């Protein structure tokens, strides 16, 4: 068969293709067009009627045939012994912890994945070196005990650590349950345990590595690979598979995914009635990935070689995962009867095997030779990302204690009999008299195992995982650089416009311009960031292969190989992943990057809250800009878009500083300080800033307010002199305009002097107040400390009111420390499509409602008569019986 035909038909269907071809040729040669047409019609009909494989799957076989399997480069015997020790220690860690506590832990995940990890550790995963950041490995969260077990054998952890697995607060410290860089900052690099997040992050990590290269920010001797180990159950998470096409579009041959297909998740089978491996293969092949299936171990090679009829494959394809799970749990006699026994020829094929041997027929993911072949092919593959689908047994080696059982995932305890069996199976040198205590086992320093283990890691460049932060200080702009913001502007602007201006000038600052990574999910035009398209370009690994429709215009859609902006398209999860990998570049690459991720605030923590949480865990640094914020400031868009709670949600992340600036100068002060804290002082924190789209004049910065802006509250405009009654209104974001207008009305019509304060961050005020309160509680006889907010307000008279375009809980955070309490107005409830004026009246955050609230707060303290409040309600045209936006 010639090459063309081979390409069309594939080599395996070559014979069929050849005969078809010759029949056709004969018919044409004999000039029988009618018969030819009829023949073709007949064939087409038969093809249509023939059962076809669903999706682009290949037979249920190993992708790499045994003839193409490379020789195994390591000493399989020693490696097996080392792996058995890993298995033992990982299991012992969990069993020990659960013998005296109920802290939990997982045995079965690592038990099924041990070979997948060990082959990678011994032969593939490269550690960090000069001009090489190391391979970036996303370890499956529930396999953490195995990774700790390895670190223990490597001498990086000692017995005390293992003893305190999941008991981090025990004396001397312990090990975190899962990969958490926040808790073990020198060990773990990437959090993975919230399923789906590791996979999506790994894709964006691989893409970001290319971005850094394209922009000339790194200078590697060799390109790092990103490895992600995940569970088959995990692949159900939308985040896990939702971004796989990115890797194909971007030709990310620097990523390898290893999906441990143990056919089980927590409760039961992943696809009891189907085959997860085939389903995933179809998806990945369809998306354009290089797929390598590792289904059967070496033991099966001989059976396949002897099976001339193709029945063995047929039988394998007939069985569903639920059957395969059963074959692990039942004895070999069951498999003989129900699997092989279906066809007499197959029964014959295993006549020479005992039941025990049948039971031991290995799955590919437990066979180091098959796994090595897959990893080698994956590492050498060019032009496409690779996924390895490895078939394993959940809880492998646990026997009665849980191997392949539905309860396997939850198994945390083992009795003495089960421990003995485990020891026997893996030949662990632990004697009967101590086995009940499940002691940890580390081979002697001069043992072959120990030497081999260390040599392999040395050859591959050092231990993994390891998080190493090299302090790199950036030359961040000084406050003079932001002078234009302190001057204010007569022309009206929004804080979003102020941010765009700020970004534009930062992109020209020679100390940090190249470190900035602007990130947007298809909303650049909404925020006015399209102005940057032409200047800095949108990153595309392919450059721009077309002439953009707007190429004649000044701000054309400019894609470039060294583009700086990441325009992610409509994927907040993807854009947030980009933010995270850029925000951790200081640690992963030793190249601090400054991501500014700007998006519709409603689609932030509400949409991708788990990634926000992870950003804290992973010690991200950068700026998140929740734009078009404010339940009433973003008008017209209605219930799904108008956001009045992201600020609160963002504040729940312990390392996140949420700010709600009202003016351009506040924004500049906050960003300048953020740059200093994160990129000069090295603090591992990130910022969330609410940005709004309402235009108003941006005032000049009053003197001496920087400290207050950063701490969260400062007096922006004092009330009128010479009034008898005093009040204070805290406003934030554009809603400070309600406070300022209320200030005028209160002075002009009701004889009240109200100071207007800008509350830039209630969370920060609260954290500081709690810190002092707690110190006072624990040091009761020492002079009490006073928080910033208490000191600031100590001498202020009258009533205090806060008005916000967020839910009332945002200002309520500081109520306990405001003299006499705080009356708050906010936007609790669902948004509506309407004008700003009507929305603000509806939510009671307009100037009139603020006046009423202030007078009410004053009357509650006996500082004005209730009749005055009633008068104001009438004067200002507020309906006292209008509906309450808050629902339950
Ligand atoms: C987002 C999320 N949902 C639920 C869980 C709880 N959970 C932990 S492990 C697990 C099953 C994992 O199955 P699989 O991905 O197949 O991993 P295996 O342990 O089988 O390797 C579940 C549901 C989680 N960790 N994260
Ligand atoms: Mg699984």
pLDDT digits (tens, 9 = 90+) for 380-394: 999 999 999 999 999
Looking at residues 849-862, what average pLDDT do you find?
98
Confidence class for position 128, pLDDT limits 50, 70, 90: very high
Atom of ligand 1 nearest to the CA of 230: 15
Q: Over 50: is that where the pLDDT of 10 sits? A: no
CA 436, 437, 438 angle in degrees (round to 5)?
90
Give tens-digit pLDDT for 170-200: 998 999 999 999 999 999 999 999 999 999 9
Q: State residue 5's pLDDT score.
A: 46
Q: Which residues contact 443 (CB under 8 A, 6 or more apart)?
A: 85, 153, 449, 450
Whether residue 465 has a cis bond before it, omega within 30° of 0: yes
Give tens-digit pLDDT for 203-239: 999 999 999 999 999 999 999 999 999 999 999 999 9
In this structure, the residue with its CA closest to atom 16 of ligand 1 is 233
Q: State residue 887's pLDDT score.
A: 87
Atom of ligand 1 nearest to the CA of 265: 13
Give the distance (Å) from ligand 1 centre to CA of residue 791: 49
Looking at residues 737-752, what average pLDDT do you find?
98
- Structure tokens that stand for 238 in this block: 């939308």
Q: State residue 12's pLDDT score.
A: 45
Among 144-158, 355-369, 399-413, whose mean pLDDT is lowest? 399-413
Strand partners, 825: 803
Of all residues in the chain, the percent with pLDDT exceeding 70 is 94
Give tens-digit pLDDT for 398-444: 988 899 999 989 989 999 999 999 999 999 999 999 999 999 999 99
Looking at residues 37-58, what average pLDDT do you find?
62
CB 666 within 8 A of CB 660: no
CB atoms inside a 10 Å sphere around CB 794: 9
The pick from 324, 409, 610 for probing ligand 1's pocket by mutation, whose C-beta has the most ligand atoms within 8 angstroms, reads 409
Residue 446: φ, ψ to 5°: -95, 10
Give the distance (Å) from ligand 1 centre to CA of residue 266: 6
CA 252, 255, 257 angle in degrees (round to 5)?
130
Residue 739 to residue 804: CA distance in whole angstroms: 10
Give the distance (Å) from ligand 2 centre to CA of residue 545: 42
Question: Which bound ligand lies closest to the C-alpha atom of 146?
Answer: 1
Give the distance (Å) from ligand 2 centre to CA of residue 644: 39
Question: Which bound ligand lies closest to the C-alpha atom of 261?
Answer: 2
* Pairing between β-strand 713-717 and β-strand 752-759 as defined by DSSP bridges: antiparallel
**Calculated CA dihedral for residues 183, 185, 188, 190, nearest 10 degrees:** 90
- Structure tokens that stand for 262 in this block: 């143990």
Helix-, strand-, coil-residue percentages of the chain, each rounded to 5: 45, 10, 40
Give the distance (Å) from ligand 2 centre to CA of residue 624: 34
Q: State residue 555's pLDDT score.
A: 87
In this structure, the residue with its CA closest to atom 10 of ligand 1 is 266
Question: Which bound ligand lies closest to the C-alpha atom of 409?
Answer: 1
Dihedral class, residue 835 (left if φ above 0, else alpha if ψ from -120 to 50, else beta): beta
Ligand 1, CB cutoff 6 Å, lining residues: 109, 112, 142, 193-196, 231-234, 260, 262, 264-266, 270, 394, 409
Give the number of C-alpha atoms closer than 13 A to the C-alpha of residue 514, restricted to the C-beta side.
Answer: 14
Give the distance (Å) from ligand 2 centre to CA of residue 274: 14
What is the distance in angstroms between the CA of the first residue and the CA of the last residue of the chain?
74
Confidence class for position 860, pLDDT limits 50, 70, 90: very high
Q: State residue 7's pLDDT score.
A: 45
Confidence class for position 50, pLDDT limits 50, 70, 90: low
The pick from 238, 266, 405 for probing ligand 1's pocket by mutation, whose C-beta has the most ligand atoms within 8 angstroms, reads 266
Give tens-digit pLDDT for 494-541: 999 999 999 999 999 999 999 999 999 999 999 999 989 999 999 999
The pick from 139, 265, 279 for probing ligand 1's pocket by mutation, whose C-beta has the most ligand atoms within 8 angstroms, reads 265
The pick from 180, 193, 231 for probing ligand 1's pocket by mutation, whose C-beta has the most ligand atoms within 8 angstroms, reads 231
In this structure, the residue with its CA closest to atom 7 of ligand 1 is 266
Give tens-digit pLDDT for 689-713: 999 999 999 999 999 999 999 999 9
- Structure tokens that stand for 272 in this block: 């009891």
Give tens-digit pLDDT for 313-361: 999 999 999 999 999 999 999 999 999 999 999 999 999 999 999 999 9
CB 813 within 8 A of CB 763: yes
Give the number of C-alpha atoms closer than 13 A to the C-alpha of residue 13, restricted to the C-beta side.
Answer: 8
Question: Which bound ligand lies closest to the C-alpha atom of 108?
Answer: 1
Of all residues in the chain, the percent with pLDDT exceeding 90 is 91
Give the distance (Å) from ligand 1 centre to CA of residue 246: 24
Atom of ligand 1 nearest to the CA of 266: 11
Burial class (CB in 10 A: 0-12, 13-18, 19+), 511: middle
Q: How far is CA 19 from CA 23, 51, 764, in A?
A: 6, 21, 78
Q: Over 60: is that where the pLDDT of 109 sits? A: yes
Residue 721: φ, ψ to 5°: -75, 160
Give the distance (Å) from ligand 1 centre to CA of residue 178: 12
Confidence class for position 56, pLDDT limits 50, 70, 90: confident
CB 817 within 8 A of CB 799: no
Give the distance (Å) from ligand 2 centre to CA of residue 429: 30
Burial class (CB in 10 A: 0-12, 13-18, 19+), 500: buried
Give the distance (Å) from ligand 2 centre to CA of residue 262: 5
């Amino acid at each position: 068969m010639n090459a063309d035909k081979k390409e069309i038909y594939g080599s395996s269907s070559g014979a069929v293709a050849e005969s078809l071809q010759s029949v056709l040729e004969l018919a044409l040669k004999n000039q029988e067009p009618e018969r030819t047409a009829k023949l073709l019609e007949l064939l087409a009909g038969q093809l249509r009627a023939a059962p076809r494989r669903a999706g682009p799957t290949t037979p249920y076989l190993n992708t790499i045939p045994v003839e193409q399997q490379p020789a195994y480069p390591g000493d399989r015997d020693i490696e097996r012994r080392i792996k058995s020790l890993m298995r033992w220690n990982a299991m012992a860690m969990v069993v020990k912890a659960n013998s005296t506590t109920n802290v939990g832990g997982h045995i079965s995940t690592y038990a099924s994945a041990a070979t997948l990890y060990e082959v990678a550790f011994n032969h593939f995963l490269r550690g960090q070196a000069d001009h090489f950041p190391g391979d970036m490995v996303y370890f499956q969260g529930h396999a953490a005990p195995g990774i700790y077990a390895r670190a223990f054998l490597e001498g990086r952890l000692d017995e005390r650590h293992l003893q305190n697995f999941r008991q981090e607060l025990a004396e001397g410290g312990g090990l975190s349950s899962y990969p958490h860089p926040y808790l073990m900052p020198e060990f773990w690099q990437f959090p993975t345990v919230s399923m789906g997040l590791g996979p999506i992050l790994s894709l964006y990590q691989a893409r970001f590595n290319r971005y850094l290269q394209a922009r000339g920010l790194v200078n590697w001797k060799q390109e790092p690979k990103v490895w992600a180990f995940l569970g088959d159950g995990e692949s159900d998470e939308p985040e896990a598979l939702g971004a796989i096409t990115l890797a194909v579009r971007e030709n990310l041959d620097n990523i390898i995914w290893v999906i441990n297909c143990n056919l089980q998740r927590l409760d039961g089978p992943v696809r009891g009635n189907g085959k997860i491996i085939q389903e995933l293969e179809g998806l990945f092949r369809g998306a354009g990935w290089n797929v390598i299936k590792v289904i059967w171990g070496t033991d099966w090679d001989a059976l396949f070689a002897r099976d001339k009829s193709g029945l063995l494959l047929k039988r394998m394809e007939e069985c569903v995962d639920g059957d395969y799970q059963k074959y692990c749990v039942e004895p070999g006699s069951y498999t003989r009867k129900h699997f092989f026994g279906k066809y007499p020829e197959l029964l014959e094929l295993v006549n020479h095997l005992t039941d025990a041997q049948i039971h031991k027929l290995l799955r590919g993911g437990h066979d180091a030779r098959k796994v090595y072949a897959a990893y080698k092919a994956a590492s050498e593959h060019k032009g496409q990302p690779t996924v390895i689908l490895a078939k394993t047994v959940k809880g492998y080696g646990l026997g009665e204690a849980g191997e392949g059982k539905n309860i396997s995932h939850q198994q945390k305890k083992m009795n003495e009999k089960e421990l003995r069996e485990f020891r026997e199976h893996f030949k662990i040198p632990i004697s009967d008299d101590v086995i009940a205590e499940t002691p940890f086992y580390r081979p002697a320093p001069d043992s072959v195992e120990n030497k081999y283990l260390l040599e392999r890691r040395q050859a591959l460049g050092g231990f993994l995982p390891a998080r190493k932060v090299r302090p790199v200080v950036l030359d961040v702009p000084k406050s003079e650089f932001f002078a234009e913001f302190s001057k204010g502007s007569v022309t009206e602007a929004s804080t979003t416009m102020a941010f765009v201006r700020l970004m534009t000038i930062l992109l020209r600052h020679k100390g940090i311009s190249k470190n900035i990574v602007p990130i947007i999910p298809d909303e650049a035009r909404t925020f006015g960031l399209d102005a940057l398209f032409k200047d800095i370009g949108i990153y595309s690994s392919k450059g721009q292969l077309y002439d953009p429709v707007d190429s004649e215009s000044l701000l054309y859609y400019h894609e470039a190989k060294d583009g700086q902006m990441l325009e992610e398209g409509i994927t907040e999860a993807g854009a947030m992943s980009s933010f995270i990998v850029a925000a951790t570049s200081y640690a992963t690459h030793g190249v601090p990057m400054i991501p500014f991720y700007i998006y519709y605030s409603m689609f932030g923590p509400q949409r991708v809250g788990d990634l926000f949480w992870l950003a804290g865990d992973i010690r991200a640094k950068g700026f998140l800009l929740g734009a078009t914020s404010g339940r009433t400031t973003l008008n017209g868009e209605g219930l799904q878009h108008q956001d009045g709670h992201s600020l609160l949600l963002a504040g729940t992340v312990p390392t996140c500083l949420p700010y709600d600036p009202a003016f351009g100068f506040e924004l500049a002060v906050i960003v300048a300080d953020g740059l200093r804290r994160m990129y000069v002082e090295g603090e591992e924190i990130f910022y969330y800033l609410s940005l709004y789209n309402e235009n108003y004049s941006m005032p000049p910065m009053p003197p001496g307010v920087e400290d207050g802006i950063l701490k969260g509250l400062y007096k922006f405009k004092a009330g009128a002199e010479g009034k008898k009654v005093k009040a204070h209104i805290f406003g934030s974001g554009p809603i400070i305009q309600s406070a300022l207008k209320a200030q005028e009305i209160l002075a002009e019509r009701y004889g009240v002097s109200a100071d207007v304060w800008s509350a830039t961050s209630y969370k920060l005020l609260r954290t500081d107040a709690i810190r002092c309160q707690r110190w006072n509680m624990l040091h009761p006889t020492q002079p009490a400390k006073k928080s910033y907010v208490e000191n600031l307000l100590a001498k202020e008279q009258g009533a205090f009111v806060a008005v916000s375009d967020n839910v009332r809980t945002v200002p309520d955070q500081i109520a306990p420390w405001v003299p006499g309490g705080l009356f708050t107005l906010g936007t609790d409830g669902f948004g509506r499509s309407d004008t700003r004026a009507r929305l603000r009246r509806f939510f009671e955050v307009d100037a009139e409602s603020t006046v009423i609230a202030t007078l009410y707060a004053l009357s509650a303290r006996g500082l004005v008569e209730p009749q005055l409040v009633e008068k104001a309600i009438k004067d200002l045209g507020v309906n006292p019986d209008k509906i309450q936006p808050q629902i339950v």
